[in-house]
């Protein structure tokens, strides 16, 4: 059975209210429900976690490693572009991580073009709205 973890970083809790022209009108709850349904269709199980705090995200990655998930779908939001600490946490754990972004970060401000994390992730999916999460889940489920 596939056991996956969905993690979201800062401000993703405000989806549905926040910059809808960029991120769409769907909420974090909808993402969590839809991805849970998809994983369960494949006979797997999904746990979900969101935090606005870098340290909590790092702690959760460490704990996830103890729980031996098959994969982590992670939208690190703005920490993508800044966090060497999250990069080190991803490097430190055995669980593969797919970095996900709702928007196409490469079409946006230049500071969003760089990811501190992509080079230590299993893969990266950007720019497909809610389907970015779906595609990441499928990449693990079809593995």
Q: Which residues are catalytic?
A: 23, 101
Q: Considering the complex, what minimum distance in angstroms separates the CB of residue 113 from ligand DQA? A: 10
**Using N-to-C axis directions, what is the helix angle for 131-141 and 28-41, rounded to 10°?**
30
Check residue 77 and give left, alpha or beta (phi > 0: left; psi -120 to 50: alpha): left
Q: Is 130 in the site for ligand DQA (CB under 6 A)?
A: no
Residue 3 or 123: which CB sits closer to ligand DQA? 123
CB 98 within 8 A of CB 136: yes
Rounded-to-integer distance, Cα 35 and Cα 45, Å = 10
- From 102, 121, 125, 136, residue interacting with ligand DQA (rule: CB under 6 A): 102
Q: Is 31 in the site for ligand DQA (CB under 6 A)?
A: no
Q: Which two three-digit tokens encode residue 55?
A: 């340290």
Q: Compute the chain's Rg from CA coordinates.
A: 14
Interface characters, 39-78, with ligand DQA (x: CB under 6 A): ------------------------------------x-xx
- From 3, 34, 45, 112, residue interacting with ligand DQA (rule: CB under 6 A): 112
Q: Considering the complex, what minimum distance in angstroms separates the CB of residue 55 from ligand DQA? A: 18
Q: Which two three-digit tokens encode residue 85?
A: 């600490």
Q: Which two three-digit tokens encode residue 143?
A: 């593995």
Number of residues that bind ligand DQA (CB under 6 A): 10
């Amino acid at each position: 059975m596939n056991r996956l973890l969905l993690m979201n970083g800062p401000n993703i809790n405000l989806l549905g209210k926040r910059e809808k022209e960029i991120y769409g009108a769907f909420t974090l709850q909808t993402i969590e429900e839809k991805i849970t349904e998809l994983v369960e269709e494949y006979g797997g199980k999904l746990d979900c976690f969101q935090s606005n705090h870098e340290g909590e995200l790092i702690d959760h990655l460490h704990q996830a490693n103890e729980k031996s998930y098959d994969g982590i779908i992670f939208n690190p939001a703005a920490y993508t572009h800044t966090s060497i600490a999250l990069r080190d946490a991803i490097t430190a754990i055995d669980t593969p991580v797919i970095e996900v972004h709702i928007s196409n970060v490469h079409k946006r401000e230049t500071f969003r073009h760089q990811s501190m994390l992509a080079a230590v992730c299993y893969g990266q999916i950007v720019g497909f709205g809610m389907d970015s999460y779906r595609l990441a889940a499928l990449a693990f489920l079809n593995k």
